[in-house]
Structure 1
Amino acid sequence: MADTDNPIPDDEWESIVANVPLVSVDLVIEHDGGVLLGKRENEPAKGEWFVPGGTVFKNESRTEAVHRVANEELGASVVIDDCLGTYEHFYETADVDGVESKHYLATAYRCHFERDDPEIVGDDQHSAFKVFRPPFENLHPYVERYLDDR
């Protein structure tokens, strides 16, 4: 189980983001005939509709991270249906002052909510959540790739 009570100090996080790819999970949550996306409030991809996701903590499995991220970012539980694979994401922005880019190794999981009608609470990383239905158009290229692969 991950140690989520001791976040990484800011100076160490800056060094990590500046020098190594981040291992993360992204949740492609199928819901109500579409896919749930959140409007990002932070870099990278600020202002874009994107899948919920987050960094995998040390000693935390990727599937444990999926469930933690769902609870932290949405306030809801999910069921994992499938692993879509691992993707590389390169951004020319970062959420860390003094760091000009961010690199992720993101494993995407196709999921659905544990309950049919979840109450999505949200967090400070998103200004809104919305279900997008096909045809999917004008979304971030990384999101479009997930949707093509599901």
Structure 2
Amino acid sequence: MTAAPGGPLPAQEWLEVIARAPLVSMDLLVRDAQQRVLVGLRRNEPALGTWFVPGGAIRKNETLDAAFARITYAELGRSLARRDARFVGVFEHHYPTNFLGAPGIGTHYIVLAHELHSASLDRLPREQHGEYRWMSEFELREHPQVHPYTRAYFSR
């Protein structure tokens, strides 16, 4: 089963939201001690089959701090505090697809990107990403399977 992008709404209701409005989300630019960046191979649309940084949608009435803690737990396997991250900027992502694969409905994200350092990521969740790897910025810019939106974080 494909998970809805932001939470407790049933999948069809999330699809209605995606059809009518942008989603606000957070992307996590996680670096290790060697300054490599964590990426996962996407298992779901949008961006299926590409290397992408972890992230997730912010839920209605959720504070940014609560969203960051929830998203880091869901995407990295442990809850982290937003105060320990560096805000990178606001980005806009447009995809022709959606998480359900429904025809004719694209997904529009307003992304709040945050950079953080993490020494231990022992049990990375497999719901959104089938495998993970650490890539240097050079690899991120050059690897053909890295999604252009992830690449853009490191091409500035």
Instruction: Quickly name the TM-score band, shorter chain normalised.
Output: 0.7 to 0.9
Percent of pairs with identical residues: 36
Structure 1 outlier segments of 4+, above 4 Å: none
In structure 2, do the counterparts of structure 1 residues 134 and 105 end up closer, same or farther at CA, with 3 Å as the change threshold? closer
Residue correspondences, number: 142
Q: Any unmatched runs of 5+ in structure 1?
A: 1-5
| Distance in structure 2 (CA, Å) of the matches to 1:145 and 1:78 | 24
Q: Distance in 2 between matches of 1:85 and 1:65?
A: 16
Name whichever structure is richer in strand by fraction.
1
Cα separation, 1, equivalents of 2:88 and 2:123: 24
1:122 aligned partner, one-letter code: P
2:87 to 83, 93, 98: 83
Distance 2:148 2:60 in 1: 29
Q: Is residue 133 from structure 1 mapped to residue 145 from structure 2 by the alignment?
A: no
Per the normalisation by structure 2, the TM-score is 0.82
SS of the residue 1:148 aligns to: coil
Matches of residues 1-150 of structure 1 in structure 2 within 5 Å? 7-33=8-34, 34-78=36-80, 80-96=84-100, 97-113=102-118, 116-135=119-138, 136=140, 137-138=142-143, 139-149=146-156
TM-score, normalization: structure 1? 0.85
Q: Which runs of 5+ in 2 are unaligned?
A: 1-6
* Cα distance, 1:49–1:19 mapped onto 2, change above 3 Å: same
Amino acid at match of 2:53: V
Q: SS at the partner of 1:69?
A: helix
